[in-house]
Every structure is written in structure tokens, then in C-alpha cells.
Amino acid sequence: MSAQEVIAEFKALPPAERTQVTKFVVENDDSWIPDEFKEAMQDAETGRMVDMETALHETPPPRLR
């Protein structure tokens, strides 16, 4: 099935089913998310981020250098 056929099928779905398909795609395909954003999220999860005020005015702790 081509992308155009999938899109036509999607448009023909009732709104509730389009919502279900959209939710599935967003939860299961992250190819639309930029790699830089994914890297930043990993940094945040591991505690490698500081607020901008701290970054501009304070020396970072040794573990972040």
C-alpha cells in the first residue's frame, strides 16, 4: 500500500478512529522528533542540565565539566 493510499484510508476514518491511529503513531514512531531533542531529553533524565542563570553566572561542578 502506498503512502497516498494510507492517507486516503486515514481521511476516510471516523474522527474517533483517526484519533486512535494518530495516538498509536505518536507513541510508537519517534522518527519525527529531532535527534537533538532526544539527546536533550536524555541529558535532562540523567541530571546533566542546569538552568540558564546558573549556566551563565556560576562555575559548573566538576562532574559537569
More confident site: 24 or 65 = 24
Its pTM stands at 0.53
Q: What is the pLDDT of residues 4-58, one digit of tens each?
A: 999 999 999 999 999 999 999 999 999 989 999 999 999 999 988 878 888 888 8
8-state DSSP, 61: P
- Count of other CB atoms within 10 angstroms of residue 6: 11
* Residue whose C-alpha is closest to residue 25's, from 8, 43, 42, 6: 6
Q: Is-contact 30 38, C-beta < 8 A?
A: yes
Residue 15: what pLDDT?
97
Which three cell numbers, joined as nine digits, stand for 9?
484510508
Residue 19: what pLDDT?
97
Confidence band of 64 (pLDDT split at 50, 70, 90): low
- Domain residue spans of the chain: 1-32, 33-65
